[in-house]
Amino acid sequence: MKASKIIPILLSVLIVACNKPNSSTKMHSSEVSNEIYSGPIIDMHVHAFGENSGFSAMLGVEMSQSMTGKAYKAPATMEEVKEETFARFDDHHIVKAMVAGGEDWYDSSPERVIIGNSHHFSIKELKEKHAEGKLEVLGEVAPNYNGILPTDTSLTKYFDLAVELDIPIAYHMFPGGPPGGAYGPYPNIRAHQGKPLQLEEILIARPTMRIYIMHAGWPYLEDMKALMYAHPQVYVDLGVISWVLTRKEFHHFLKGLVDAGFGKRIMFGSDQMIWPETITDGIEAVNSATFLTLKQKEDIFYNNAATFLRLSEEEIKSHKEEMD
């Protein structure tokens, strides 16, 4: 038989084999659990702001979410924000937290705080911080607030730095601030700038770069699935979508990623800014997902981030033994 005839036959066999249900991984309705995960949690998305940040004007003010209607009231000071955030960490067994701007919080909980710093610093400054132990994650990198796409040449050096230092980069795509943010505090932001597939050539050029997309690329579910399929190094965190969206929409998006087979690369992130209660609401949003097994919840809350962060077996064991 000619090779031209053999190749299509082999491809057909391969396709059938790849699509054949696997009894070891196929989910049955009996495997879906309403159980609540209560083990250790890694929060991959927290913020520490100074007293003079743009969020200061919202301290002590009640804010209503336009999507859900729920109101959140911030503490009166940034110090209280920190104290209440750490109290939530304790309540929910959050053993690690990637804190953007976390230098100010590190001394309060050095075993827990993973220090993130952003692209607002120069490369020289970031290298100095890394040498001093003050840069463990390059993030939050969120140039879209200024209308800058990930493909902009001004960002190339930051992607290269993440590879050079072998540290993760936390990249924000969308949402951008509150609904309608372009008409308020973020006039340069545009919804189309949040499409995850913009990262493709950046990833191809840096196959060893550890990157996670904050807010899981919402609302571009199909783009996000395509990106994660094509680039196995890409992880996501759930971020703000776990509490700013309606529960139905959040579960729809999360289920789409899980059903597509990416449950091992989804990480919990609260995107706690100045409303510590959002940590609790984000955790509850995942725990209330009845389409997830208890093992899948454990992966999202802890195991996937532990793998992504390259935690040692000893540290993982200690985190889990604390809960026994």
Domains of the chain: 41-321 (3.20.20.140)
For residue 171, which of 149, 147, 190 has the smallest C-alpha distance? 149
Instruction: Determine the Cα–Cα distance for residues 273 and 78; give it in Å rounded to an integer.
Output: 10
| Cβ pair 78, 50 in contact under 8 A | yes
Q: What is the band of 30 on the pLDDT scale with cuts at 50, 70, 90?
A: very low
CA 94, 96, 102, 104 torsion-angle sign: positive
Burial of 201 (0-12, 13-18, 19+ CB in 10 A): exposed
Instruction: Determine the Cα–Cα distance for residues 274 and 306; give it in Å rounded to an integer.
Output: 26
Of 21-35, 83-97, 132-146, 168-182, minimum mean pLDDT range: 21-35
The pLDDT of residue 32: 61
First to last CA, the chain: 63
| Cβ pair 263, 257 in contact under 8 A | yes
Q: What is the band of 8 on the pLDDT scale with cuts at 50, 70, 90?
A: very low
Instruction: Determine the Cα–Cα distance for residues 71 and 84; give it in Å rounded to an integer.
Output: 17
Structure tokens at 92: 């929910």
Strand positions, DSSP E, the chain: 41-47, 62-64, 71-73, 94-100, 113-117, 137-141, 169-172, 211-214, 234-237, 266-267
| CB neighbour list of residue 85: distance below 8 Å, 6 or more residues apart | 46, 272, 276, 279
Kindly provide the b/e burial profile for residues 10-46, where b requires at least 16 CB atoms within 10 angstroms of the residue's own CB: eeeeeeeeeeeeeeeeeeeeeeeeeeebebbbbbbbb
Cis before 175 (ω within 30): yes
| Cβ pair 173, 234 in contact under 8 A | no
Return the ∠ at Cα 130 (arms to 129 and 134), rounded to 5°.
Answer: 60
Whole-structure pTM value: 0.90
Position 153 pLDDT exceeds 60: yes
Position 220 pLDDT exceeds 50: yes
Q: What is the band of 31 on the pLDDT scale with cuts at 50, 70, 90?
A: low
